């Protein structure tokens, strides 16, 4: 990998992968897509694409291991890394919400006082309930949060919701939204990038913005000449 090339971290295999790759392709970038490889060099722009787990992206960007990353705002709110949002990417929409069993007698969030709440977002959950002055017991779990009330593990969950199908299938319903989220392009805080990389970043962001505003760009042999 060349040091002067921009390094962009994208999710290797998950909900953001397809839309991210799609955005890169529509922006005119050419590269070989092979998920077995952990990186790909752009053929027509000085940029390397690095495939990693989404949770690691803010950390890599903060440390300057990569220059840019595509990640959900939810991960940024949860991990509070020292990074800058360059642009909203208009995909990966979801919300972090509080949900309770459909049969629960709870009508208002205040009634969850001293309740057990399972979540993979303990920091966002803690912050929300503290802000609302409601003491609760957070039980962190790393996945399949929606099953935990039925197991008797919790009275409510805090989880990401997109279509709401997962909640419905598990007889759960939303009582409160904590925040909305979408995928964003992030970079390190100002002055992390060399002058050359800043110019490359401006060029690529200009292309992303055009694609996001519906302008179709023809692939070109070389994006910068
Ligand atoms: O392996 P890796 O760590 O990279 O991926 P991951 O499994 O941690 O994340 P992944 O691929 O599930 O999600 C990546 C990002 O997509 C998240 O951080 C969000 O920014 C965004 N996103 C958008 C979602 C959803 N929609 C979503 N619906 N992330 C997760 N979900 C899950 C949710 O947790 C719940 O289990 O989908 C279920 C609910 O979906 P609905 O449609 O039934 O409501
Ligand atoms: Zn993840």
The two structure tokens encoding residue 163: 């279509």
Q: Which phi and psi angles does 46 have, rounded to 5°?
A: -75, 75
Confidence of residue 214 (pLDDT cuts 50, 70, 90): confident
Å from CA of 15 to ligand 1 middle: 6
Using alpha carbons, select from 161, 172, 173, 158 the residue that is nearest to residue 117.
Answer: 158
Q: Mark out the alpha helices in the chain (DSSP H runs).
A: 17-26, 57-63, 73-79, 122-131, 165-169, 195-212
Residue 25 above 50 pLDDT? yes
For residue 53, give the DSSP letter: -
> What confidence tens digit (pLDDT) does each residue in 56-87 have?
999 999 999 999 999 999 999 999 999 999 99
Separation CA 136–CA 47 (nearest Å):
46
Relative to beta strand 68-72, strand 6-11 is parallel
> Counting ligands in written order, which one lies closest to the CA of residue 144?
1
Residues with CB under 6 A from ligand 1: 11, 14-16, 53-55, 72, 74-75, 92, 94, 159-166, 181
């Amino acid at each position: 990998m060349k040091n002067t090339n921009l390094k962009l971290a994208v999710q290797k295999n998950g909900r953001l992968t397809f839309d991210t790759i799609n955005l890169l392709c529509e922006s005119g970038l050419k590269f070989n897509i092979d998920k077995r490889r952990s990186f790909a060099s752009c053929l027509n722009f000085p940029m390397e694409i690095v495939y990693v787990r989404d949770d690691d992206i803010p950390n890599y960007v903060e440390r300057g291991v990569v220059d840019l990353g595509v990640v959900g705002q939810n991960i940024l709110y949860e991990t509070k890394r020292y990074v800058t949002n360059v642009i909203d990417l208009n995909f990966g929409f979801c919300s972090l919400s509080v949900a309770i069993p459909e049969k629960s007698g709870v009508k208002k969030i205040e009634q969850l006082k001293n309740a057990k709440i399972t979540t993979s977002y303990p920091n966002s959950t803690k912050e929300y309930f503290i802000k609302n002055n409601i003491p609760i017991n957070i039980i962190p779990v790393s996945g399949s949060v929606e099953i935990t009330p039925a197991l008797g593990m919790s009275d409510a969950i805090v989880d990401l919701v997109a279509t709401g199908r997962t909640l419905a299938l598990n007889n759960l319903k939303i009582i409160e939204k904590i925040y909305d989220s979408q995928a964003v392009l992030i970079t390190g805080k100002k002055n992390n990038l060399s002058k050359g990389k800043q110019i490359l970043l401006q060029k690529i962001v200009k292309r992303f913005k055009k694609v996001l505003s519906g302008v179709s760009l023809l692939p070109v042999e070389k994006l910068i000449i």
